[in-house]
Structure 1
Amino acid sequence: MEKPQNRVFSGVQPTGNLHLGNYLGAIRNFVGLQQTHECIYCVVDMHAITVWQDPKELAANTREVAAAYIAAGIDPSTNIIFNQSKVAAHAELAWILNCVARIGWLNRMTQFKDKAGKDREKASVGLYAYPILMAADILVYRATHVPVGDDQKQHLELARDTAQKFNNDFGAQDFFPLPEPLIMGPATRVMSLRDGTKKMSKSDPSDLSRITMRDSADDIAKKIRKAQTDPDPLPETVEGLQGRPGAENLVGIYAALAGMTKAEVLAQYGGQQFSAFKPALADLAVEKLSPITDEMARLMADPAYIDGILSKGADRARAIADPVVARVKEIVGFI
């Protein structure tokens, strides 16, 4: 089976309230990669149901992520955009890889501990095992590169370990490539606007903690105006941001939106008060996000169009994934 060259796979969960962290940490990076890689972008609805989802909301949220991909600039004619549950190969390969990966590996996954909380006995088996499904998502396309945030690096390591063990266990040499991480940009980790020590999250009870991809210009300006900072002016060096999480977060967001480094932002705004910096950040955020928000709304008004994109993308995804699973079954000894 021919090895792919520079094939990217990544996905976003359709759990509602897409926010600035999803855009800067993932979706915007996907757009640039389509110039240099063969790209497969998934709406990972099977991952979403590791915690309970309202079925109607799940369907709407799946379309929202697809709309965000397209509105941000991902071309569905040259890249594959689809939702995970349409391609059965993901689940088939995940089961086989469940029998390759080791329980000890999963026990070391810190995200399960974070997401399950104190009452782990009530967490779903899917939430515990979902790093194996993530490995299957990547390996079923024999992807060579995966854009990931810092919080997903551990899961990508597990995917690499699982691929290596499969290759070794079955004498399959390098059947599965060992996917490499792509960590990009100055703001791969966007923090809460209300607490700069916590990641921006759709589950935070405060709507002021995040800028969503549906926010109006007024909403964006209000949230940035109310963002947590401190009474001191902006420092003139990046080192001066240490111990100032709110300031560091806003400078990082500005840098990412403007395509600048934090040092370049501080060269422009260092020594100024937040009363001057926040309006500039709000104007920049509105300039960059409003066109995407408007296009998302237009696309969401035509769900049949989005469903057509997802269906065509799934056909193209199956054309890659199904032969891989068929070969895996042969390697394993299924007849």
Structure 2
Amino acid sequence: MNRRTFIQQASLFTITLASSKILSACNSNVNDSNAAIKEINFGVLSTESQDNQKPIWEPFAAAMSQEVGIPIKPFYVTQYAAVIEAMRFGKVQAAWLGGKSYIEAARVANAEAFAQVVSADGTRGYYSHLIANKDNPITAEAKAVGGDKYVIQNAAKLTFAFNEPNSTSGFLVPSYYIFTKNNIEPKKAFKRLIFAGNHEACALAVANKQVDVATVSNEALNRLERTNPTARKKIEIIWQSPLIPSDPIVYRQDLPADIKKRLQNFFYNYKDAKVLTPFEISGFVPAEDKNWHTIRELEIAKKIQETQAKENLSAQEKQQKIAELNQQLKEIE
């Protein structure tokens, strides 16, 4: 089966952006590209608590400020939707996003990717995991048969935590590879399903035996080993995804060209290992929007399969909707 045929047999869960809070907090006056930029708010997705993020981000922001020549202020948020809405309404001018959140930001918030993260081992990608507590009786069996298979077969007896709906590794990738491909609806399958809100919360929910299984990225587990080694020792990986394209660095398209150029120069050339090591990365490389087409294809693929499974649509309605989605796939170059 070729890649395109495989994509055309998949679907997507309906995802709702919880944006009302950030809408009220954001300034609706988007920065005029011709106005003087006195500072830049840089969106930081808080996959961990802000207290853990600040010691990592403040030296990086200081170095960026020096290179760009204007203050760069980390803008910490607890949900992916919040930074998207902040960028949409001009409160955030640049950000470090995940693949799925970037696609949404490019669609609604005038975001443009210009750099991509390079991992500490030189790869340009990362992984999604399913994790369980080492002391949980399910863990040994899950590892033996494969965590994805075990979860599918035993979902009705399990409690499960996703990260949040705009997370690539914490929702999109595991929901596609584990559930959509097997025609399973998580909301109906599990004994209890929650959205923990971030990677750290998912990991701690497993470590503290609040849920049986949760999603998390390998990067978040690496950070947890530094910030909370006791919790990390309680966690066992029971499934690993295919490689996910590494995170994009983005700015609003209407930033002045000279500011864009200075941001590019900083990210393309910054190599301070002391500052970058806590991020588990070695640096950044130039990138463009198409680097994340794989994520777009996953989303459209899941929509196709979801449409096929809908019982309230006629055959003609399904055919029309699927044709529209297939056209979207063709338009991704």
Would you say same fold, with TM above 0.5?
Answer: no
Structure with a larger share of its residues in strand: 2
Task: Report 1 or 2 for greater relative contact order, CA contacts < 8 Å, sequence distance ≥ 6.
Answer: 2
TM-score (normalizing by structure 1)? 0.24
Structure with a larger share of its residues in helix: 1
